Amino acid sequence: MNRKKITFLLRVIFFQLLALISFSCSTTDDIEELPTPVEQPNIQTFTVMTFNITGNKWSSNKDVINSIILNHQVDILGTQELSGNIKSEFMQLLGENYSIVETFDDLNVNLSPIIYNNQRFNLLDFGYKETPICGPRRFVNWALFKNLDNDQTFFFYNNHLCRGEEESQKQHGVDLIELMTEHQNKETNYRGIVTGDFNASEGTDLVDFILGKKSLTLNNTEYLNNLSIEDTWQLVNPNQNKPSQGNVAIDWIFCTSNWRVENSLVDTSNSESGGTPPSDHYPLITIFSNDL
């Protein structure tokens, strides 16, 4: 092989090696410039709270009340005694990721609105059913949500029942179950969550009726509850007394039996001296699984 051919072959090999090195460096640079994957939030559960805010203690305890809600990363909140003059400030403290389901233009009409995390849920529909008046007007407030984590839809009901008026409480309970039954009859895969200050403790006729343990007699009429409803506290803490703001626990989170409940607790950590809650109630929290 003459010198010219050898020189030619060496040049070909040189340029092939140069191209290979250049390609290797380019590929390495591309890999190094890929963005670091962002850690995804935990979408296995969502958190529900019922909390009687007690407007007359708002000004002195608003920071504590707000921190309780945010620290628990509450996704849906059933409030009671959230009066119109504090609603705007309340929502401002929670931040733009929270929305309120408001049923009236007059903010002082409905004092038990539902609040939800708009980054995790879409509001599909909402409404109310008015119940017997005792002081302020009373409602079963409801909302139909779509869970953006799994496209699951479910109904949410929030309540604040009359205190010490048994017949009014019974009527509210009947109205709640009738409304839930109406929604169930329209939905193929009906699911419901119920929150509220029921002003009724475990073992009362009202609570036993909601749980389907007994019928309820009102105005000489017997009412039956054919829904399958559970007490989320007892599902997680069987045979344990629920902490309360007084001698009895009157705040409840119920659910239809097709939910999986991961945890249920009462937050007593922010009590004032002497064990007084930041409002006159402790918040009750339930964590639901996203598994269908």
DSSP line for 132-155: --SSS-EEEEEEEEEETTT--EEE
pLDDT band at 31 (very low <50, low <70, confident <90, very high): very low
The CA distance from 126 to 141, in Å, is 8
- The H or E element that residue 21 is part of is helix 3-32
Q: Specify whether 7 is located in the same domain as 77.
A: no
On whether both 143 and 179 belong to a single domain, the answer is yes
- Residue 146 in any domain: the answer is yes
CATH number of the CATH domain containing 118:
3.60.10.10
Number of domains in the chain: 2
Q: Residue range 76-99: average pLDDT? A: 95
* 212 and 185 belong to one structural domain: yes
- Most confident option among 13-17, 36-40, 202-206, 267-271: 202-206
pLDDT tens-digit series, residues 236-291: 999 999 988 666 899 999 999 999 999 999 998 876 655 677 888 899 999 999 98
Residue 2 confidence (pLDDT) above 90: no
Split at pLDDT 50, 70, 90, the class of 133 is confident
Among the listed ranges 2-6, 114-118, 121-125, 201-205, which one has the minimum average pLDDT value?
2-6
Angle, helix 58-71 to helix 84-94, in steps of 10 degrees = 40
In a domain, 40, yes or no: no
Tens-digit pLDDT profile for residues 163-181: 988 999 999 999 999 999 9
Query: Does a structural domain hold residue 82?
Result: yes
100 and 229, same domain (yes or no): yes
Q: Please give the pLDDT value at position 162.
A: 93
pLDDT at 223: 97
Closest CA to 215 of 187, 247, 173: 173
- The reported pLDDT for the residue numbered 187 is 92
Are 168 and 263 found together in one domain? Answer: yes
Residue 204 has pLDDT above 90, yes or no: yes
Instruction: Report the alpha-carbon distance of residue 31 to residue 290 in Å, rounded.
Output: 35
Query: Are 26 and 124 found together in one domain?
Result: no
**Residue 144 above 50 pLDDT?**
yes
Above 80 in pLDDT, residue 151?
Answer: yes
CB 124 within 8 A of CB 146: yes
Looking at residue 278, its amino acid is P
Same structural domain for residues 117 and 28? Answer: no
CA-to-CA dists, residue 128 to 137, 139, 152, 189, 194, angstroms: 12, 6, 22, 21, 13
User: Residue 176's closest CA among 191, 190, 156, 147?
Assistant: 156
Contact between 244 and 193 (Cβ < 8 Å)? no
- The pLDDT of residue 271 is 67
Whether residues 156 and 13 share a domain: the answer is: no
Q: Are residues 128 and 12 in the same domain?
A: no
Q: Are both 17 and 81 inside the same structural domain? A: no
Entry pTM: 0.84
Return d(Cα 43, Cα 291) in angstroms, integer.
10
Distances (CA, A) of 98 to 103, 116, 164, 241, 265: 16, 5, 33, 32, 22
Q: Give the per-residue pLDDT at 36.
A: 42
Question: By residue range, what is the domain housing residue 5?
Answer: 1-34
Q: Could you tell me if residue 215 is inside a domain?
A: yes
Distance of CA 231 to the CA centre of its chain: 16
Q: Whole-angstrom Cα distance, residue 224 to residue 247?
A: 29
Whether 167 maps to a domain, the answer reads: yes
The string of pLDDT tens digits covering residues 45-71 is 999 999 999 877 888 899 999 999 999
Helix (H) or strand (E) holding 32: helix 3-32
Instruction: Please report, rounded to a whole number, the percentage of residues in the chain having pLDDT higher than 90.
Output: 69
Residue 2 lies in a domain: yes
Mean residue pLDDT across the chain: 87
Element (H, E) at 209: helix 205-210
H helices, E strands: number in the chain: 6, 14
Contacts of 23 (CB under 8 A, 6+ apart): none
Least confident window among 16-20, 128-132, 184-188, 207-211: 16-20
Domain membership of residue 151 (yes or no) is yes
Same structural domain, 30 and 52: no
Q: Is residue 39 part of a domain?
A: no
- At residue 85, the pLDDT reads 87
In a shared domain, residues 191 and 265: yes
